[in-house]
Amino acid sequence: MIIDIVMPKMGESITDGTILEWRKKVGDVVELDEILLEIGTDKVDSEIPSSAAGKVIEILAKPNDVIDVGNVIARIDSSDNVPGDIKKTIITPSENFNQVQKQKSDPLLEKTPLIEVSAQKKTGFNKKRFYTPIVLKIAMEESVSFKELEEIEGSGNNGRVTKKDILLYLENKKSVFTLPTIEEPFIELEKSFSSNSSYNEEMPKMRKLIATHMKKSLETSAHVYLMTEVDMTKTVNFVKKNEETFLTKEKFKLTYTPFIVDAVVRALMEFPDMNASLFDSQIEYHKNINIGLAVAVEKGLLVPSILSCEEKNFLGICRSINDMASKARNNKLSMDEIEGSTFSITNFGVFGMSFGTPIINQPNVGILGVGAIKKQPVVIESNGVDAIAIRSIMMLSLGFDHRLIDGAGGSNFLNKVRLYLEEFNTDILGGFNAH
């Protein structure tokens, strides 16, 4: 029996998906619920299990093809006596790669998302691995040979070496390697990245979607920004005091992010306008407080949501943030987990930046930018006497939609967030407090 495999519907607002990678090729046998392919949408990338067991007899879409939901993308023969020799009816991803390689002299210019390198031909190794253009570019610039690449343990799908893997390898590399010899293939790629040359490549789908979303936000909302300093010394000391006990009991690190989320949630409960959405002349006040947290991933940026934060205590917020961040970085987020935010937070402080002016995540009317915590000399007053002290200072920037929020409302909200951060209850972790 021939069974059609169709592009699945991944969410209410999703109308199509992009083929990222086939895990099976024509002629392969696939089990029920075994991963058949990986697809990407404008929200998240997902591994798609096979809806039937049998032999793959037809693949109707290549990597990078955008297919409408419900269209047939492959066919599986589920009968017991499938013919042993089935001719391929289309170009498989591997064949497509080989044909494109013949047409282009520079493999880093490929518009396919992966580059297949025959390790046996290039280095004498018997296995094949896949390298993205950015990995090859870093390897060439850092004089990492294919032999070294083969020795790097990959954390991507099927052991694929990611950008993070090769950067970690270079960071931990203690000895200095010699430049590639003439037998090594990076000599052939050197011309492509000389200072006098350039190259073009198609923007990845996630990057296109981010660009469209950001441009639409700027065209929709009247962006205004306010900034303030927050004395995080109390929080910094609290984390240092409790981090070991917390890690032992919860199995993940206590960070500053939950303190910021908790302060924002408490402030939003007092300023419902900031937890609203504006559609033409209609204001929608949201019943729940759903915090969207921007998370940097290898392919771009995701903003998964922590739902109903007003119902969570501080420890619940800690656990939700850790679970969400882990899912985002391991590409395990469901569609429901990346929709529905009512207010967003982006932390560029993790990259050492002091402050920024983030773009509002539609249809929110506000976004909080979090800067790095840095020690600074500040003037403090004690018993009526001014003194200079070293304090841990963090910059907060609030971007809000001036169509709904005025300067006074934005200022009062941001000041409330600051006060909640500076004056939090030290019993916030209950039994986790160190003594």
Q: What is the CATH number of the domain that holds 239?
A: 3.30.559.10
Quote the DSSP letter at residue 434. -
The answer to whether position 19 is within a domain reads: yes
Q: Which of 165, 206, 219, 216 is nearest to 338 (CA)?
A: 206
Give the pLDDT band (50/70/90) at residue 64: confident
Catalytic annotation on 223?
Answer: no
pLDDT tens digits, 198-222: 778 888 877 888 888 899 999 999 9
Tokens of 172: 């931990």
Give the pLDDT band (50/70/90) at residue 196: low
- More confident of the two residues 301 and 85: 301
The answer to whether position 228 is within a domain reads: yes
Q: Whole-angstrom Cα distance, residue 72 to residue 7?
A: 6
363: preceding bond cis by omega (within 30 degrees): yes
**Are residues 305 and 428 located together in one domain of the fold?**
yes
Tokens of 339: 């929709």
Instruction: Name the domain boundary from 137, 166, 193.
Output: 193
Q: CA dist 243 to 119, 235, 247, 254, 332, Å?
A: 45, 12, 6, 6, 27
**Are residues 78 and 111 located together in one domain of the fold?**
no
Q: Whole-angstrom Cα distance, residue 92 to residue 95?
A: 5
The answer to whether position 199 is within a domain reads: no
Q: Whole-angstrom Cα distance, residue 43 to residue 22?
A: 20
Q: Tell whether the model's pLDDT for residue 343 goes beyond 90.
A: yes
Q: What is the CATH number of the domain that holds 45?
A: 2.40.50.100
pLDDT at 180: 44
Tokens of 351: 């990259």
**Are residues 291 and 144 located together in one domain of the fold?**
no
**Are residues 141 and 235 located together in one domain of the fold?**
no
Give the pLDDT band (50/70/90) at residue 227: very high
Instruction: Name the domain boundary from 143, 161, 193.
Output: 193
Q: Tell whether the model's pLDDT for residue 194 goes beyond 60.
A: no
**Are residues 223 and 363 located together in one domain of the fold?**
yes
Mean pLDDT of 341-361: 94
Task: Give the orientation angle of helix 314-329 with respect to helix 257-270, to 10 degrees.
Answer: 120
The answer to which of 81-90, 150-159, 357-366 has the lowest mean pLDDT is 81-90
**Are residues 367 and 419 located together in one domain of the fold?**
yes
pLDDT at 44: 67
The answer to which of 75-89, 201-215, 238-252 has the lowest mean pLDDT is 75-89
Backbone torsion region of residue 323, taken as left when φ is above 0, otherwise alpha when ψ lies between -120 and 50, otherwise beta: alpha
The answer to whether position 163 is within a domain reads: yes
**Are residues 224 and 168 located together in one domain of the fold?**
no
User: Domain residues for 87?
Assistant: 2-91
pLDDT tens digits, 284-330: 999 999 999 998 877 678 889 999 999 999 999 999 999 998 888 78
Alpha helix (H) residue ranges in 4-111: 93-103
**Are residues 277 and 416 located together in one domain of the fold?**
yes
**Are residues 85 and 164 located together in one domain of the fold?**
no
CB 40 within 8 A of CB 205: yes
Q: Are strands 291-293 and 343-347 parallel, antiparallel or unpaired?
A: parallel
Q: Tell whether the model's pLDDT for residue 65 goes beyond 90.
A: no
The answer to whether position 99 is within a domain reads: no
Mean pLDDT of the chain: 80
- More confident of the two residues 401 and 136: 401
The structure's pTM equals 0.60
The answer to whether position 426 is within a domain reads: yes
CB 158 within 8 A of CB 180: no
- Long-range Cβ contacts of 176-185 (<8 Å, 24+ apart): 177/143, 177/144, 177/145, 177/148, 178/143, 179/143, 180/143, 180/145, 184/122, 184/145, 184/146, 184/147, 185/117, 185/122, 185/146
pLDDT tens digits, 139-160: 877 878 777 878 888 777 667 7
pLDDT at 292: 95
**Are residues 236 and 324 located together in one domain of the fold?**
yes
Q: Whole-angstrom Cα distance, residue 360 to residue 340?
A: 14
pLDDT at 174: 45
Domain count, the chain: 3
pLDDT at 333: 82
Instruction: Name the domain boundary from 133, 166, 193.
Output: 193
CB 55 within 8 A of CB 29: yes
**Are residues 326 and 377 located together in one domain of the fold?**
yes
Catalytic annotation on 406?
Answer: yes
Catalytic residue, from 323, 402, 427, 435: name it: 402
Catalytic residue, from 33, 336, 406, 427: name it: 406
pLDDT at 159: 73
CB 61 within 8 A of CB 40: no
Other Cβ atoms closer than 10 A to 84: 7
pLDDT tens digits, 250-267: 999 999 999 999 999 999
- More confident of the two residues 425 and 432: 425
**Are residues 283 and 393 located together in one domain of the fold?**
yes
Mean pLDDT of 327-345: 85
CB 388 within 8 A of CB 231: no
The answer to whether position 200 is within a domain reads: no
The answer to whether position 389 is within a domain reads: yes
